[in-house]
Structure 1
Amino acid sequence: MRRGTAPPYRPTMRIPAVESRSPRDWAVDVVAFLLAVGFTALAYVDGVERRLDPAVLAVDAILGGLGCLGVWLRRRLPVGFAAPVIAFSVFSSAASGVALLALFTVAVHRRFAVVGLVTAGFAAASVGSVVVRPDVPLPTWPLAALGVVCVAAVLATGMFVRARRQLAGSLREQARRADLERVAQARSQERKRIAREMHDVLAHRMSLVSLHAGALELRPDAPAAEIARAAGVIRDSAHQALEDLREVIGVLRAEVDCDDDAPERPQPTLADLPALAEESRRAGTRVRLVSRVADPASVPPAIGRGAYRIVQEGLTNARKYAPGAEVSVSVHGGRGDGVTVEIRNPWPSDTEETAIPGAGSGIIGLAERAELAGGRLEHGHTSAGDFRLWAWLPWQP
């Protein structure tokens, strides 16, 4: 072989895997083997009573015994078991009983065309047995009819077992696919939920960065203390945004546990609203927060988190579309009445522009969040000229 050339391809033979028998399969095979041995013994005793030639008896017993041993191979090689046993039945009366078992096995494990061919071979062997062995009497019409009924019953039973197994296998496959689809849907919903969480967080952080960066751009001659404060806010917001982004990328790369309803990170509650309002005030937004929830810590985590995200998105939108305007935030509710969140800010004039871009999906995500929690969300202009974001989230008693 020359250097640098690949070795010639040599096909290899693959040996089929041996299916392990269940305890039920072992019990069925043992019963089938005992029935075959019993029929072979009865055929041998009948031959002895009819004073058949010893050589004929020996051949009958040997072929019948081989057929009995083949019972243990019938699951792996149904046709390979049936073909020699049917051939044995031409010369051995003892093997004719095992041939019926072979017909049943083929009917269970093979398609209808193969079953038909094996049945035709069995019929030919029955005729050949009468021709080859003169000691076998010609069957009368009642016996022939009984034989046909027995063969039909064996075939019908085998095909019924086959159809039942196929139905059971189809149901198991459908259940498996349904389970895979359920897992896929759960993972997709989990990732969408994480995406909503990170949209709310990153939009809030990036709006702070953009706002302060724009202020530094417009006022390069601002006092050093004000520039340092703005730079600190930019640094902290960018750092927190990077941490949030790193967290969500790690979650999306890993396998998400779909049975866990709690978000990975962060997990704000209703008690964190004052800190959120103070953060927006440090960023230059005038925020007036009124909270009439007696015990914010007792609010269910999912409801508190949803209310927090709604307020966070409302403040982010106010910074984007109404910079410098005062934002009014009202949160009230109680156990059994639900939690109501209302955010108002003056609607900007047509000539007022903002440099902060928006994807327009924040309100849509909040509406989906509210619907998933069993609540509702409304937004739009008011008669007073304000923009109003209102949401209600259920709080079970």
Structure 2
Amino acid sequence: MPRDRPPAGLTNAPDASFYRSYDAAFTGTRPKLRLGDPGIDVQWMRRRLWGSLVAGTWSGFVLPLIGLGLMSHWGPFGRLDSWQLETFGSNSLILLAILFFPLIFVPRVITAVMPINRSTPFLLGMRQAYDRDWGPKIEGYADSPSHFRKVRRACLVVTIVGVTAIVVAIAYGVYDASRPRAPLPQLSLARLADPSAPLPSAARVIGAVPDLSQRWNYHYNVRQDIHHDVYYPLRAPGERADVPAKVVELDQTSPQSEVASWNMVNAPGPREGTLSVMGDWEAGEMQHAGVKLAAHVTLLTREQLHGKMPDQGMTGFFIGLFGFVATLLGGALYWSFGRAAKLAAARPRGDFNRI
């Protein structure tokens, strides 16, 4: 006789209407949908699988994407950073990370507000990606032991690629730290200001005069560490202050740093550091502070390089980051699908209705 309460293990299914949404009788056990049932074909199974993969991939990659957004000030990250600066005079990367952290729950929010029934296999797959006991039990080719083994092999490949990337990152870091450094090229302001000339990763700038009358002070916190970055134009001798700057120097200062040059603006000694094209967010903030900039601006981030080219540590970092995410995601899915394959193999053969 049908009961009026959901069975154990079936979450968020308050009454018989849940079963009716899947055209299933409310019998006290989870409704089952099999390949070959009305409307349940291979395409339906694939759409459900895609929903599960999208939700799992989103959960695995959204945190690294948030980290990259915080470092690059891309899009909404830059706009919120600018809002913090205008409102409080400084910003906190931890606060920004907290504001964007809820993005990891986007699949859960979508499946919580959207109706899920027999005609929405993609949403069903998203929901069951993080709550396998929710909704109807799916049986058929997409839930058979052979299918789980195929998916598990793909997850193993992803895990192996991730581990290989981590090993490559470590080996590259050891190699890059041990190889001899080439001397820094010495470049003039005219050479740095030329957008058609190739830009080396680092250089020693000669013939440059700092213009400290125009500057942008960028204050931010990382946990308890306080950082004060100062941006100001570098000009040729005798150049007027109203000429749009084509080369800008960035001096990074922090009271916690033990590197002397990091605690000084316009530090004495050779003007050397890493080179890059100034990003839109930084350029916009400088112009907002009243500094005139050219359309193309080269940014010199001041560092103590002792006349030698720096190592390429960021290359190894990004390779290692990719490897870590791939290993974590692939390993977790490999274990999850392995468990699912064992459960599927324990069922009687007749439970799999293949077509």
Report if TM-score (shorter chain) is over 0.5. Answer: no
How does the TM-score come out when normalised to structure 2?
Answer: 0.25
Greater RCO structure (CA 8 Å; 6+ sep): 2
> Larger radius of gyration, structure 1 or 2?
1
Which structure: greater helix fraction?
1
- TM-score, normalisation: structure 1: 0.23
